[in-house]
Amino acid sequence: MTFPLRRMRRLRRTATLREMVRETVLDPGDLIAPLFVKEALSKPAPLDPLPGHVQHTVSSLVEQCGRLAELGIPAVMLFGIPTRKDDAGSSAWDPDGIVQRSMRRIRAETGDRLVIIGDLCLCEYTSHGHCGVLAGETVDNDATLDAYARIAVSYADAGADVVAPSGMMDGQVGAIRRALDGRGRGDVAVLAYAAKYASAFFDPFRHAAESAPRFGDRRAYQLDPANVDEAVREARLDVEEGADLVMVKPALPYLDVLARVKAELRLPTAAYQVSGEYAMLKAAAARGWLDEDRAMLEALTAIRRAGADLVLTYYAETAAARLRRG
């Protein structure tokens, strides 16, 4: 049956009809808020390239977590900025490190209302800013795995529900899974940054996390933006190594990757709307070039439609508040 018997516009006629046939619904429960906490800050420090966001103190972080939980956001992803950086990134697995202390405080204040996810990487902790231990000018994959395993255990001890390795080392999920299980922590889940691209859209984050590499770039460990089959292989390997959830990052420029990963693995899948994606919308909105609320909801809905069950986004709080207002 075709036109004029078939008329697609019939179901678009009123708001209620449109809602009845809507395929993708965005809910605060789908969102995860990335948060930055910096050691030795006496008050929160605003982040210029990430408008509306700050580097938190532990206290302001805990308060923010309370607000997010109140809005129906189920989870936070923590990034720490330590006072002391060294070649090995050893502050990252300090039982009293900034992320570990934050996890304990959030758990104490918000109980089980929030899922606590720890981003697990070394770039915020190494003096050179790379995501692993160096051998000369390259990142030594296997030596880095030992460090990741220690961080995972320290996060578990501090109360993390989920650890999220983001360094793109081969074997990182397996190394972390074995370390956790070896400590009797089979209950802690792994969210694998399975397909993380060597992207230009991370720059505001690197300012926020103080994690830009001092030399070179991350192309020897993160994915080439030109590849999609490789991303599916990465994700499949992570699942074989024990990943419970997988992530694609960035989100909007990589919706095809997201759709493939979701379709081929059928696993809980997250997408990370990264700092540069947020900054672009913010900058255009500040100039009055687009309607920020509409653009935000459209982008987040599109990411869900492409296959993301969960979206990490700097818009988490704004979007949840907007969705609650209806």
List residues near ligand PBG by CB under 6 A.
Answer: 119, 121, 123, 131, 166-167, 202, 205-206, 211, 218, 274-275
CA angle 289, 292, 295 (to 5 degrees): 95
Residue 99 binds Zn ion (CB under 5 A): no
Closest CB to ligand PBG among 93 and 202? 202
Residues serving a catalytic function are 196, 249
Show contacts with Zn ion in window 149-168 (CB under 5 A): 167
203 alpha-carbon distance from chain centroid = 15
- Cα–Cα distances (Å) from 82 to 60, 66, 85, 93, in that order, read 16, 23, 7, 11
- In the numeric block, which tokens belong to residue 160? 């993390």
| Residue 148 touches which member of ligand PBG, Zn ion, none, C-beta under 5-8 Å by kind | none
DSSP SS3 for 314? coil
Closest CB to Zn ion among 212 and 263? 212
* Closest separation in Å from C-beta 173 to Zn ion: 15
Show contacts with Zn ion in window 256-295 (CB under 5 A): none
163 φ/ψ angles, rounded to the nearest 5 degrees: -115, 145
- In the numeric block, which tokens belong to residue 128? 């050179």
Closest CB to Zn ion among 37 and 306? 37
Q: Which range binds Zn ion by CB under 5 A, 131-139, 153-161, 274-282, 294-302?
A: 131-139
Among the listed residues 69, 77, 117, 131, the single contact to Zn ion using CB under 5 A: 131
124, 93 Cβ separation under 8 angstroms: no
Closest CB to ligand PBG among 202 and 254? 202
Residue 123 binds Zn ion (CB under 5 A): yes
d(CA 54, CA 152): 25
* Closest separation in Å from C-beta 4 to ligand PBG: 49
Q: Which range binds Zn ion by CB under 5 A, 18-26, 52-60, 114-122, 238-246?
A: 114-122
| Residue 73 touches which member of Zn ion, ligand PBG, none, C-beta under 5-8 Å by kind | none
CA angle 98, 99, 103 (to 5 degrees): 120
Closest CB to ligand PBG among 49 and 268? 49
Q: Is the dihedral of CA 26, 256, 262, 195 positive or negative?
A: negative
d(CA 5, CA 314): 45
Residue 231 binds Zn ion (CB under 5 A): no
Residue 81 binds Zn ion (CB under 5 A): no
Q: Which residues pair with 134 in a beta bridge?
A: 139
* Closest separation in Å from C-beta 131 to Zn ion: 3
Buried b (16+ CB within 10 A) or exposed e, 127-144: ebbbbbbbeeeebebeeb
* Closest separation in Å from C-beta 111 to ligand PBG: 27
Please report, as ranges, the residues that interact with Zn ion according to CB under 5 A.
Answer: 121, 123, 131, 167
